[in-house]
Amino acid sequence: MAARAIWKAVIQCGKYQVPVKLYSAIEDRNIHFRILSRKDKQPVKGAMVNPETGKIVPHDKTRRAYVAENGDRAILETTELDALEPEPSRNIETIAFLPAEQINHRWYDRPYYLGPDGNSKAYFAFIEAIESSAMHGLMRWVMRGKMYMGALRLHQGYPVLITLKHADEVVAIEDLVAPGGADLNPKELEMARQLIGMLEDELELSAFHDAYREQVLKLVESKAKGGPRLKLVKPSSKKPNDDLGSALQASLKSLKKSA
């Protein structure tokens, strides 16, 4: 079954255009719980409360405020905030094409597939041109009142637009200092290298599945039928092996045996 497009747009690349449709690349498989009241097992209602009076403040009486460092608050009206939002547009602007490594994947947020909107001639020509350039596009667009930056790249031969986080949302590794200590023992490093080498294989993502999710659904089913409450059995916590050298040696030995 074909997926439904969430948005229509036109990519502007230099003086050329590509009409596209956006599709979410993500399939939500999370289990969604509701918050219930313990007493009547029915969903609760959320409301904004003034903690001093304990009274509910109706929605039309609520405002947003910016709180300054000293605690002073500037009240911002919805109309004022809306006026700061960008003008709606159907265009996805191309800001630049860059070597792939220039757009760090740590900025990646949500991926969307791009499909052709109407005539697919320009769409496929654009794919071909991106492919031969071996570069990634840096794009900007306004969708549903919000401005986005995105990376444009190919995945399995099709264009994917990935929204990017703001620079200050991602903690830079350069700003952190790795744990220090005495130099590592070269013998232990060599053993760790061997151990990781023995555990190396190709990545087959489809080999992994969310078994826990299935267990949660089974638990729901069992409880719905009046099944017993699950009790937590604390696993005996493994004592961390302080002797790194002997732990590595024993690991290599047991792996060689099973090989």
Partner 1 sequence: MADEPTEETEILKPFWSGVVTFGLVSVPVSLFPATRGTTLRLRMVDDKGNLLKRRFFGSEDSKPLDAKNLVRGYEIEKDRFVIIEDDELEALDPEKSREIDLKLFVDLNTLSPLYFERAYFLVPNGGSTKAYRLLAETLVQEGRAGIATFVMRGKEYLCAIIAERGILRAETLRFSDELRSPKAIGLPEMKSVDAAEVKHFTQAIKGLKTKTLDQTELKDQRSARIIKLANKKLRSGTDIVKASTDDEEVEESSTNVVDLMEVLKERLQGKLRERSASQSKTRQPKVSELRSKSKAELYEMAQSQNLPGRSKMSKAKLIDALTTQKSL
For partner 1, the binding residues in 77-96 under the rule CB under 8 A are: 77-78, 80-82, 84-85, 94-96
**Cα angle at 182 between 180 and 185, to 5 degrees?**
120
Q: Mark residues 27-46: x for contact with partner 1 by CB under 8 A, - for none.
A: xxxxx-xxxxxxxxxxxxxx
The residue from 113, 117, 163, 258 that contacts partner 1 (CB under 8 A) is 113
The radius of gyration of the chain from alpha carbons, rounded to an integer in Å, stands at: 27
Between residue 166 and residue 185, which ones bind partner 1 under the rule CB under 8 A?
Answer: 166-171, 173-182, 184
Structure tokens at 237: 């916590």
The yes or no reply on residue 111 touching partner 1 (CB under 8 A) is: yes
The residue from 79, 234, 257, 258 that contacts partner 1 (CB under 8 A) is 234
The yes or no reply on residue 156 touching partner 1 (CB under 8 A) is: yes
The yes or no reply on residue 257 touching partner 1 (CB under 8 A) is: no
Residue 252 CA to residue 197 CA, distance in Å, equals 10
Residue 155 CA to residue 115 CA, distance in Å, equals 12
Residue 104 CA to residue 138 CA, distance in Å, equals 12
The yes or no reply on residue 127 touching partner 1 (CB under 8 A) is: yes
The residue from 6, 90, 118, 145 that contacts partner 1 (CB under 8 A) is 145
Please, which residue, 90 or 189, has the CB nearer to partner 1? Answer: 189
DSSP 8-state symbol, 167: G
**Cα angle at 32 between 38 and 35, to 5 degrees?**
20
Task: Report residue 241 CA to chain centroid gap.
Answer: 35
Closest to 110 measured CA to CA, from 85, 83, 146, 81: 146
* Ramachandran bin of 163, using left for φ above 0, alpha for ψ from -120 to 50, beta for the remaining angles: beta
Least spacing, CB of residue 175 vs partner 1, in Å: 7
Least spacing, CB of residue 90 vs partner 1, in Å: 18
Between residue 50 and residue 79, which ones bind partner 1 under the rule CB under 8 A?
Answer: 50-52, 54, 56-57, 61-78
The residue from 144, 257, 258, 259 that contacts partner 1 (CB under 8 A) is 144
Least spacing, CB of residue 169 vs partner 1, in Å: 5
Between residue 201 and residue 220, which ones bind partner 1 under the rule CB under 8 A?
Answer: 201-203, 205-206, 208-213, 215-216, 219-220
Least spacing, CB of residue 19 vs partner 1, in Å: 14
Residue 234 CA to residue 218 CA, distance in Å, equals 21
Residue 147 CA to residue 160 CA, distance in Å, equals 18
Please, which residue, 173 or 259, has the CB nearer to partner 1? Answer: 173
Least spacing, CB of residue 147 vs partner 1, in Å: 7
Residue 145 CA to residue 86 CA, distance in Å, equals 7
The yes or no reply on residue 6 touching partner 1 (CB under 8 A) is: no
